[in-house]
A and B are shown apart, each in its own frame.
Chain A
Amino acid sequence: MSATAPSRPRSRKATDWWRWSGRIYLVLLLLFTALPMFWMVLTSIKTQFAAMQYPPQWWPAEPTLENYTKLLDPRNSVGHEFLLYFWNSLKVSVLTTILGVFVAVPAAYAFSRFRFPGRTFLFFSVLLRNMFPAVVFLMPLFILMRWLGLVGSHGSLVLTYLTFGLPLSIWLLKGFFDNIPIQLEQAARIDGATRFQAFLLIVMPLSTPGIIATSIFSFIGAWNEYVYALTFLNNKDRLTLPVGIQRYFTEFATDWPGLMAATFLMSVPVVVLFLVLQKYFVKALTEGAVKH
């Protein structure tokens, strides 16, 4: 008793120290990630003059929404282009996401439930794409797309993004399916469902969090991709946002507030997606990975 008693306050002090250093670390990390975005928003509501002032004007003296109204007005050329690129990005990303689900779900289900020759080999070769930097595939894919006659089309991007997103989607979803007891499907089949109905009515609803999480991943991947969009697209009207903004940046190199407003608008869909689906996303990361 006398031996342990004095050591207790010291150990409490030690945990306090750890806890506080942890908090400080988190605050630093938060500043590191949030400050640029904060600065982006602040700059986007400044006038051109205020944005270029030195020493910098931390808080805009005359905040303005002019940059946003310009971007969102299809009648002026800047707004027309921005909205077109936004629409292109949305089209490519949504198509990639939907097609990704249609390919990844059956593939992951097959890997999870069926035993077939070459299963392990195939499952690991799915990962092969991720073992090389994406740029390595730039030229081969370009040649392939030219051969397919797809260069310059949004189809070339959708196909490419699919191959980039699928490995993670398949692996994540397989983990999900593995955690759903096979007896549930067996019960459904005995209760009168076909194998496909059992999958559709029992397995799919239970794996919704996983499907949503993988959808978010592939959507973000497609939404932010730059190098392939820059290489494959040659028509100005077909550009996606990351490339489009970059064009806008070079043409109006000095219009920082305009650029920041465009960047902010580009990040809106991803933030909204996260906020709406956050519940499922957390569930997917905690439940899908851990065995019960």
Chain B
Amino acid sequence: MARVVLENVVKTYGSVRAVNDVSFTVEDGEFVALVGPSGCGKTTTLNLIAGLIPISGGDIHIGDRLVNDLDPKDRDIAMVFQNYALYPNKTVFKNLAFPLQMRKMPKAEIAAKVNEAARVLDIERLLQRKPRELSGGQQQRVALGRALVRDPRAFLMDEPLSNLDAKLRVQMRTELKRFHQELGATVIYVTHDQLEAVTMADKMAVMSGGNLQQYDSPKRVFDHPVNMFVAGFVGSPAMSLIPLQLDNVAGTLSLKSEAGWSLPLSEANAAKARNTSSRNVVLGARHSTVRLHTQAQAGAIPGVTYTVEPTGDVTFVQIDLGGAIVIVSLDPNIEIRADQPVWLEFDQERIHLFDGETERALRAS
């Protein structure tokens, strides 16, 4: 296993920059998720690391080698594809043996390695079958087996779970995580599902429009999103973002809404707000940090419930605060209905403030 370093990596197609100046380091044994919406450049970045497409600028190191101009076969990596890419005319055994044959390993050794991988993944009974005779979950295991049958420097995975049904996906997620823990493998994992990234990864690289937005642990990304894109992308349901105006009344900073209400800022938040030259500030609040009252309350902001979505464990309520929608999670035993007047109380310790112009998070210093 090895560490993987990207330095100012660029990929252009004509005048389009599909990957724009991306830099991050995946430490040896780390599980990193590349996450973002469709077309954000995450798969392109993975293909650049694999060497499947030529790099336009910057450097990629795998271990201590600069791999910019190396063929995929010489990079010593393994990859799991979204559609599994199993060789349809070969049996499972031959699929698993292929990477070893290509490395001219002796036959007896190949058989031993393939059988060991099959045992680990519990696919021994399937070795003589063709891929089309397997279920989706079994195909997924074979694809994984083909990656781990040799000891590559890093595993690259391109949405490996997205073709599975919901139940199997959760099960395989657990297995993948355990597999990573046991092998101590370096894994770079592409997904559009932020939940997969948050649950499995040591670090996540959030991408949008070819740019790396934030690279940090899932907890740090969740608690301290650097900008409005990351704030809205990570977490489900998404963080509520409310565009407001900064108002200074006799030295006290508060956020004013067009609907008429205003929220006086705590000392810590006021310090953040002083760091922006813009008057437009966006308030961000996660559903679990907002308290809902059914009676008027001093300092609470009046609104009207819009929709009520019970999920069983928790009930999500969307509240209209005069144009902006805020999502709040409630205990399912609390009785609430649509179009009911409510009052919201924001936790000043846990709200996020963003510059309305640059969309960047406001920091204290």
Contact = CB atoms under 8 A, between A and B. Distances in A.
Closest 9 A/B residue pairs (Cβ): A192-B102, A183-B85, A191-B99, A187-B85, A189-B72, A192-B73, A183-B81, A190-B72, A190-B79
Contact of B72 (A181, A186, A206): A186
B99 A192 contact: yes
A234 interface: no
Nearest to B76: A192
Interface in B310-330: none
Given A187-B79, A187-B87, 18 more contacts: A183-B83, A183-B85, A184-B85, A184-B87, A186-B72, A187-B81, A188-B98, A189-B52, A190-B50, A190-B73, A190-B75, A190-B78, A191-B73, A191-B102, A192-B103, A193-B102, A194-B71, A205-B89
B88 interface: yes
Interface in B74-128: 75, 77-79, 81-83, 85, 87-89, 98-99, 102-103
10 contacts: A183-B85, A184-B88, A187-B85, A190-B52, A190-B72, A190-B78, A191-B99, A191-B146, A192-B102, A194-B71
Contact of B87 (A192, A194, A195, A202): A202
A197 interface: yes
Nearest to A184: B85
Contacts of A183: 81-83, 85
A181 B71 contact: no
A186 B79 CA distance: 9
B98 A191 contact: yes
Interface residues of B, number: 21
A150 to B, nearest CB: 41
Interface in B22-52: 50, 52
Interface string A184-222: 101111111111010000100110000000000000000
A191 B104 CA distance: 12
A152 B88 CA distance: 47
A202 B101 CA distance: 14
Interface in B180-213: none
Interface in B5-22: none
A191 B99 CA distance: 4
Interface in A225-281: none
A184 B85 CA distance: 5
A292 to B, nearest CB: 11
A292 B123 CA distance: 27
A186 B89 contact: no
Interface string A20-61: 000000000000000000000000000000000000000000
Given A189-B72, A190-B50, A194-B73, A181 B85 contact: yes
B83 A181 contact: yes
A206 B103 CA distance: 23
A81 to B, nearest CB: 46
Interface centre among A183, A189, A192, by most B CB within 10 Å? A192
Contacts of B73: 189-194
A206 B132 CA distance: 14
Contacts of B103: 192
B81 A189 contact: no
Contacts of A192: 73, 99, 102-103
Contacts of A188: 87, 98, 102
B93 to A, nearest CB: 15
Contacts of B52: 186, 189-190
A97 to B, nearest CB: 23
Contacts of A189: 52, 71-73
Interface string A165-192: 0000000000000000101101111111
Contacts of A202: 87
Nearest to A193: B102
